[in-house]
């Protein structure tokens, strides 16, 4: 009775079989034009920007609890609903929603593995008719245990039980691709471009677990450590966060300020 509708990483065929479930809430994170062009039956178009509280130069900060409560209620999220999220752009947006749900303690949620491209590759149907949400009343609180800020990271730079995983490209990590006032990376941070977790030959689905665990182990990322993930705005690294959770990592935090925060603060140390 308490079995989840789908695992954290759900396959298109399993989602298709569950579409008629009354507890399913399917959220499409695509922009309205893409949503209108074709979406999974029953999917509600979720406004991605409502998850954020931009505070320049940090553009990816999590929205405050009252804002999240309002948008989650408007979208029909409630404790008993199983949220399945997807998009068409590598599922980074969908994973940012799932990370936010994890932060507020919502446990019933899944990512559509590979997003809408994987769904379409299976020959499953899409529709163009918009689906209006049925609002709910969902008050949430933001828990700090799934979030890291610059001061938390700074305090743990010498802590061998805490590791920072930089999910940007190698060029960004090395300071060659400059997207903030300063280039480089957080001292001691490991680097794994978020796209390395995806199989480009399988509609961008997440790679097999053993393959991913081997990649991570070679970087010093093991389940006994606390892992703090970041990118430029915690968009790409939200995907990595969900991958780590899928692999069984329990001590994970997302640095929502990410490099747009760290790279623009001259008082914080960097390496190149």
Rounded to whole angstroms, the Cα distance separating 217 from 206 reads 17
Which run of H or of E encompasses 209?
A: helix 209-218
Tokens standing for residue 232: 């430029």
Three-state SS string over 15-66 comes to: HHHHCCCCCEEEEECCCHHHHHHCECCCCEECCHHHHECCECCECCCECCHH
Q: Is 174 exposed, middle or buried (0-12, 13-18, 19+ CB in 10 A)?
A: middle
Rounded to whole angstroms, the Cα distance separating 90 from 74 reads 25
Instruction: Give the single-character DSSP code of 208.
Output: P
Tokens standing for residue 110: 């899944």
Rounded to whole angstroms, the Cα distance separating 146 from 99 reads 8
Look up 167 and say whether it is catalytic: no
Tokens standing for residue 205: 């689905």
Catalytic residue IDs = 231
């Amino acid at each position: 009775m308490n079995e989840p509708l789908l695992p954290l990483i759900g396959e298109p065929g399993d989602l298709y079989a569950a579409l008629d479930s009354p507890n399913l809430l399917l959220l499409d994170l695509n922009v309205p034009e893409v949503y209108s062009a074709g979406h999974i039956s029953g999917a509600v178009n979720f406004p991605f920007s409502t998850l954020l509280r931009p505070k320049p130069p940090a553009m990816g900060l999590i929205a405050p609890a009252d804002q999240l409560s309002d948008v989650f209620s408007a979208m029909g999220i409630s404790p008993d609903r199983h949220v399945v999220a997807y998009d068409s752009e590598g599922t980074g947006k969908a994973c940012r929603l799932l990370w936010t749900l994890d932060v507020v303690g919502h446990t019933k949620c899944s990512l559509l593995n590979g997003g809408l491209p994987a769904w379409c590759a299976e020959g499953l149907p899409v529709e163009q008719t918009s689906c209006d949400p049925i609002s709910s009343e969902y008050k949430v609180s933001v828990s700090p245990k799934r979030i890291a800020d610059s001061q938390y990271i700074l305090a743990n730079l010498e802590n061998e039980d805490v590791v920072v995983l930089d999910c940007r490209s190698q060029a960004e990590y090395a300071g060659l691709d400059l997207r903030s006032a300063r280039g480089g990376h957080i001292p001691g941070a490991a680097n794994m471009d978020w796209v390395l977790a995806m199989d480009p030959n399988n509609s961008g689905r997440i790679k097999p677990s053993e393959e991913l665990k081997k990649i991570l182990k070679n970087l010093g990322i093991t389940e006994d450590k606390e892992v703090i993930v970041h990118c430029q705005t915690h968009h790409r690294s939200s995907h990595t966060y969900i991958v780590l959770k899928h692999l069984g990592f329990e001590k994970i935090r997302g640095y929502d300020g990410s490099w747009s925060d760290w790279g623009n603060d001259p008082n914080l140390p960097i390496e190149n």
